[in-house]
Homo-oligomer: A and B are copies of this chain.
Amino acid sequence: MARVLTSQAEDFPRWYQDVIAKAELADNGPVRGTMVIRPYGYAIWERIQAEMDIRIKACGAQNAYFPLFIPESYMRREAEHVEGFSPELAVVTHAGGKELDEPIIVRPTSETVIGEFMAKWVQSYRDLPLLLNQWANVVRWELRPRLFLRTSEFLWQEGHTAHADHDDARDYARRILHEAYEDLMVNVLAVPVLVGRKTKQERFAGAINTLTCEAMTLDGKALQMGTSHELGQNFAKAFDIQYTSAEGGREHAWTTSWGSSTRMVGGLIMVHGDDDGLRVPPALAPTQVVVIAIKPEVVDAVHKIGDDLRASGVRVVVDDRADIPFGRRAVGWELKGVPLRVELGPRDLEANAATLARRLSGGKSPVPLGELGAEVTRLLAVEQQAMLDGARADRDARIADVSTVDDAAAAGAEGWAKVPWDTLGEDGEAKLAQSGVTVRCLQRTDGGVPDTDTEAGLVAYVARSY
């Protein structure tokens, strides 16, 4: 049978494009670098959103919405911020049939406009912490766009919080990192991200500290899946976010921001895909099980099976298109990465059994219809764990443990490397950059996230990145 996809080994970037096209995840939009997210891709994003929203709310933040349009003057108030974003901005100069007096920036991120409103809403220490989140689209002009990974417009959540002191801001930035981002990525996406601290070189524009979740893709590169920033008092000073303390003094607040985006869908593809298409972890999958009627005479029976599974809380699609050859349909569901397929033909029905096919391992086995619900539930949990375990083993096998800058540069150009940060340092970091290798994060040797980059004994993870 002719392969539907370019194989990963042959051409990984082309395999990635093929999966997105054939699994009907997304298309390129008409304006450079923009993206059309098709229903199946969007269903995956909606599941990520729903799971992320629960975690963000559990961390106490409330959703709100701030404008798409930001006055150009706002962007200039925080010096590092404007410098970081200027090359990527899209600018509205005309509206309502007239040239505007002041050009408008299409938000690349909302620190500035949210800073302006935090300054109005925060008066006293009683108003703190102020914990906000928004789901929105943002625009960053991309010269080398790639669907989901780097698009001129993308969808994301951006959290923005204000705190009375440094410790509270630091703790909250970490709480989001672990309880929202890491938990979602590891336990829902089955992506075993490394969490750590960015070096000064890699920090967000305007931050005093950036924490990150980094995934390893199947071609051995790194993908930043979510970041959480301590902004210190930089934005509070630029936007005058001040509060009256319990003692009666006026203090600048300490702020944080944190974001995760449709890029996570790209990470999902690049961590879990194979030559047959996408593989979606059961905890995430918008469709966990597809029930396929092999022949027309079993259509009623597959609907009954679908209803029963749905009643036990499984997300099910029934494929009753018996006029389309079974093989073609099975390939389609494999491409889309649906974790389990229940296949039913007339002889199966006679034998009161169905075939249960597993996307992850490719295995198939007959299951009595009476045991189907329990077996599906069991296998969904098994496959979820197997995907996480598999991805973690793959990741660990591709991290070279090296002790010199040269070895780090060589290994990082092929896969990942870990190297003592004391050995690497900012000079070594600059040297790695010459081979396109960057420090993805700093960790303590026990995997913990360091408080500073000057702690003794830190480990730097280095790789090329998307």
| Interface residues in chain A, defined as those with a beta carbon under 8 Å from any beta carbon in chain B | 27, 29-31, 34-39, 42-43, 45-46, 62-71, 74, 86-97, 103-104, 106, 113, 116-117, 120, 132, 136-137, 139, 141, 143, 152-153, 155
Q: Which residues of B contact A71 (CB under 8 A)?
A: 30-31
* A39 and B64 contact, CB distance less than 8 A: yes
Interface centre among A43, A65, A74 (most CB of B within 10 A): A65
Given A29-B69, A37-B64: 16 more A-B contacts, CB < 8 Å: A30-B70, A30-B74, A30-B113, A30-B116, A36-B65, A36-B117, A43-B63, A45-B65, A86-B97, A89-B95, A90-B94, A90-B95, A90-B104, A91-B93, A95-B141, A95-B152
Nearest first, the 5 A-B pairs at minimum CB distance are A96-B141, A34-B67, A39-B62, A29-B67, A37-B65
Q: Which residues of B contact A90 (CB under 8 A)?
A: 69, 92, 94-96, 104
Q: Give the CA-CA distance A38 to B117 in the complex, in Å.
A: 10
- Report which residue of A31, A46, A64 has the largest number of chain B beta carbons within 10 angstroms of its beta carbon: A31
Q: Determine the chain B residues whose CB is within 8 A of the CB of A95 once the complex forms.
A: 89-91, 141, 152
Q: How far, in whole Å, are A317 and B1 apart by their CA atoms in the complex? A: 60
- Residues on B with beta carbons closer than 8 Å to the beta carbon of A43: 62-63
Q: Which of A27, A90, A143 has the most CB of B within 10 A?
A: A90
Each complex incorporates copies of this chain amounting to: 2
Q: What residue in chain B is nearest A62 (Cβ atoms)?
A: B39
Question: Is the beta-carbon distance between B67 and A36 smaller than 8 angstroms?
Answer: yes
Complex contacts, A88 vs chain B, CB 8 Å:
96
Q: How far is the CB of A95 from chain B (nearest CB, A)?
A: 4
In Å, the complex CA distance between A36 and B97 comes to: 24
A94 touches B97 (CB 8 A): no
Cα–Cα distance between A65 and B64 once the two chains are bound (Å): 20
Complex Cα–Cα for A66 and B151 (A) = 13
User: Do residues B66 and A46 form an inter-chain contact, with CB atoms below 8 A?
Assistant: no
| Given contact pairs A90-B95, A137-B137, A67 touches B143 in the complex (Cβ within 8 A) | no
Residue from B65, B116, B120 within 8 A of A42 (CB atoms): B65
Least CB separation from A87: chain B residue: B97
- The complex places the Cα of A90 from the Cα of B68 at a distance, in Å, of 12
